[in-house]
Amino acid sequence: MANELQGRKIAILLAPVGTEQVEFVQPKKAVEDAGASVDVVGIQTGEAQTMNSDVNPGETFTVEKTFSEVSAEDYDALIVPGGTVGADNLRGNEEAVSFVRGFFEQAKPVGVICHGPWTLVEADVVKGRTLTSYPTLQTDIRNAGGTWVDEEVVTDQGLVTSRNPGDLDAFCAKIVEEFAEGKHEEQARSA
């Protein structure tokens, strides 16, 4: 069980402010525990302020690479945490959206939780896909052409989504499984 992601390189997004702490920390630990190496990628390097329950300041974490330094080609998989302000912030950054779109174009697995799917709406990659999210995003996802379902964890051809921090155990188990499988050609076909 412990080394199924050995040798894999994974990117996790971190907004300058407002990423939900537990949705950053727990998935990062899950893939590292499975042997992956992880880069924290963001808009600017340096310390980023996470939040707990959206409005209470959490710990700070370091952004290691900026979007201008990396591309989806450098990684095997991507994790997009939520946090209302953080997810809104990332979707507003063209380089972030372009980076996310690259994983879909290259058929690489992606795990997204809570408000994270706003970035997928912005990248125009939800059309024809089935996914979940924090419930307030369901209209945006349907209007973007996706099918929204209310389930703990949803897997659709390499795209793994969950609703909120309460789903993290199931989300983390599933991203490790999907990331270990590698490329999903259906992911690319729909991008």
Alpha-carbon span 141 to 91, nearest angstrom? 14
Q: Is-catalytic flag, 114?
A: yes
Contact 16, 44 (CB under 8 A): yes
Q: Kind and range of the H or E element at 13?
A: strand 9-13
Active site residue: 14, 85, 114, 144, which one? 114
Selected from 13, 85, 131, 176, the binder of a second copy by CB under 8 A is 85
- Is 115 a binding residue for a second copy by CB under 8 A? The answer is yes
Residue with tokens 């990117």: 11
The DSSP secondary-structure symbol of 162 reads E
Selected from 4, 33, 54, 151, the binder of a second copy by CB under 8 A is 54
The pattern of x and - marking residues 118 through 137 that bind a second copy according to CB under 8 A reads x--xx------------xx-
Q: Is-catalytic flag, 172?
A: no
Tokens of 43: 């808009």
Q: What angle do CA 183, 186, 188 make, to 5 degrees?
A: 75
At closest approach, how far in Å is the CB of 146 from a second copy?
Answer: 10
- Is 91 a binding residue for a second copy by CB under 8 A? The answer is yes
Is the C-alpha dihedral spanning 121, 100, 63, 14 positive or negative?
Answer: positive
Active site residue: 91, 101, 115, 184, which one? 115
Q: Which residues sit at the interface with a second copy, rule CB under 8 A?
A: 17-18, 49, 51, 54-55, 57, 84-85, 88-89, 91-92, 115, 118, 121-122, 135-136, 139-140, 143-144
